[in-house]
Structure 1
Amino acid sequence: MLIHTRIEQKLLDAFDPVVLDVVNESHMHNVPAGSESHFKVVIVTPHFDGMRLLQRHRAVNAVVAEEIAKDIHALALHTYTPSEWYEYYAEKPPASPKCMGGEKKLPV
Structure 2
Amino acid sequence: MNVIDMMREKLAALEPVSIDIIDDSAKHAGHAGARSGGGHFRLAIVSPRFAGCRTMERHRLVYDALGPLMKKEIHALGIDAKAPDEK
TM category (shorter chain) comes to: 0.7 to 0.9
Superposition CA RMSD, Å = 1.6
1:9 aligns with 2:18: no
More strand by share: 2
Distance in 2 (CA, whole Å) between partners of 1:61 and 1:10 is 10
Unaligned runs of 5+ in 1: 86-108
Distance in 2 (CA, whole Å) between partners of 1:28 and 1:17 is 27
Distance in 1 (CA, whole Å) between partners of 2:85 and 2:27 is 31
Deviations 1:36-88 (A, max 9, x none): 60011100011111111100000100111201112211011110011112xxx
User: 2:52: which partner in 1?
Assistant: 50
CA contact (8 A) 1:39 1:76 kept: yes
Distance in 2 (CA, whole Å) between partners of 1:43 and 1:72 is 17
CA contact (8 A) 1:24 1:36 kept: no
More helix by share: 2
User: 2:21: which partner in 1?
Assistant: 22
How big is the shift at 1:30?
A: 2.1
Q: Percent identity, aligned pairs only?
A: 34
How big is the shift at 1:23?
A: 1.2
Q: Which has the larger radius of gyration?
A: 1
Unaligned runs of 5+ in 2: none
Distance in 1 (CA, whole Å) between partners of 2:9 and 2:14 is 10
Name the TM-score, length of structure 2 as normaliser.
0.85
Which structure would you say has the larger RCO, counting Cα contacts within 8 Å and 6 or more residues apart? 2
